[in-house]
Amino acid sequence: MELLEAIRTRRTTNGAFKPDRVSLEHQHLLVEAAGRAPSHFNSQPWRFILIDDPQIRGRVGEIGGATMTQLIDEGKFFSRYKKYFRFDAEEMERRRDGILIDQLPLPLRPFVKQIFSDTALTIMRSLGVPKLLGQDNRKLVENSPLMLAALLAKDEYIPGELSGMYCLLSLGMAIENVWLTCGSLGMGIQFVSTPMEIPSAWLELKTLLCVPEELELMAIYRLGYLPDEKKRPRIDWTSNQRKRLSQLVFRNTCATSEQDPTPSSEQEE
């Protein structure tokens, strides 16, 4: 796959993967690509755990599902993240960021614009939505044939110091390499992030994965081969919109926004 095409087609996978085991060759390619990322002084502060043990995956799924249920039930998910959600295509087109919720469970559709209100939360609770979403998430996670945990060495990752920031930049680049490699291998990847929001759940995952004192568990992803036919999850979104150049780039100083290209300006080059 061409690099630019790989970058342009890279996506987060919200749905299920094929049940097939990810070959060891592909698992190793993913972490080799991660390790090829740049890092400060070539410190390579990252470590990875490749998780294919069904019992461990099952427990990660349980924790993922339970934390999803808890976050939705307590209203924390929506209150924390409502600024990122868009409900109409026009707003999405204007802002070109965030997440457009374009698939909701049937009973919730009439309340789409009020989904963040207390009334909607009460309705969702009475319909058992937090539990349903947690169950969906649990299945998605535990049925993912591979998980990848990303860790940082604590002697490099010192929050508040420059090396802490360098580590985060480096790990971000390593993960992007994994993500792009997934695309070239016909695989998908998604963050399993809800356990990070509940400290006791994150601690349980650290214990489950036997993370030693000198390493910090930074993120967990679920991965697998993409199915031929994609079934959309109960709640799904589109987030492939990106800002225009004029919305994210300046020319020379922050006083001047970059001009968006027009077909004629690009021809003049």
Q: Which is nearer to ligand FMN, 11 or 139 (CB)?
A: 11
Name the nearest CA neighbour of 147 among 250, 269, 212, 63.
63
54: amino acid identity, one letter: P
Please state the closest distance from residue 11 (CB atom) to ligand FMN, in A. 4
Please state the closest distance from residue 202 (CB atom) to ligand FMN, in A. 13
What residues contact residue 138 under an 8 Å CB cut-off, 6+ apart? Answer: 61, 62, 64, 65, 66, 68
Does 240 interact with ligand FMN (rule: CB under 6 A)? yes
Does 99 interact with ligand FMN (rule: CB under 6 A)? yes
Q: Using CA atoms, how far apart are residues 104 and 110, in angstroms rounded to an integer?
A: 10
Q: Which is nearer to ligand FMN, 240 or 265 (CB)?
A: 240
Please state the closest distance from residue 264 (CB atom) to ligand FMN, in A. 30
Contact 30, 178 (CB under 8 A): yes
Identify the bridge partners of residue 172 per DSSP, sorted by sequence position.
Answer: none
Please state the closest distance from residue 213 (CB atom) to ligand FMN, in A. 25
Q: Which is nearer to ligand FMN, 31 or 141 (CB)?
A: 141
Please state the closest distance from residue 209 (CB atom) to ligand FMN, in A. 18
What residues contact residue 180 under an 8 Å CB cut-off, 6+ apart? Answer: 3, 6, 7, 10, 33
Neighbour-count burial of 109, counting CB atoms closer than 10 A to its CB (0-12 exposed, 13-18 middle, 19+ buried): exposed
What residues contact residue 266 under an 8 Å CB cut-off, 6+ apart? Answer: none
Among 239, 245, 257, 258, which residue interacts with ligand FMN (rule: CB under 6 A)? 239
Please list every residue from 127 through 146 that binds ligand FMN, using CB under 6 A: none
Structure tokens at 226: 């993409």
Q: Using CA atoms, how far apart are residues 106 and 121, in angstroms rounded to an integer?
A: 15
Of all residues in the shown chain, the one whose CB is closest to ligand FMN is: 193
Mark 24-53 with x for binding to ligand FMN (rule: CB under 6 A) and - for no binding.
------------------------------
Please list every residue from 161 through 220 that binds ligand FMN, using CB under 6 A: 190-191, 193
Percentage helix, strand, coil for the chain under 3-state DSSP, each rounded to 5: 50, 15, 35
Does 11 interact with ligand FMN (rule: CB under 6 A)? yes
Does 96 interact with ligand FMN (rule: CB under 6 A)? no
Does 67 interact with ligand FMN (rule: CB under 6 A)? no
User: By rule CB under 6 A, what count of residues binds ligand FMN?
Assistant: 8
| Residues at the interface with ligand FMN (CB under 6 A) | 11-12, 99, 190-191, 193, 239-240
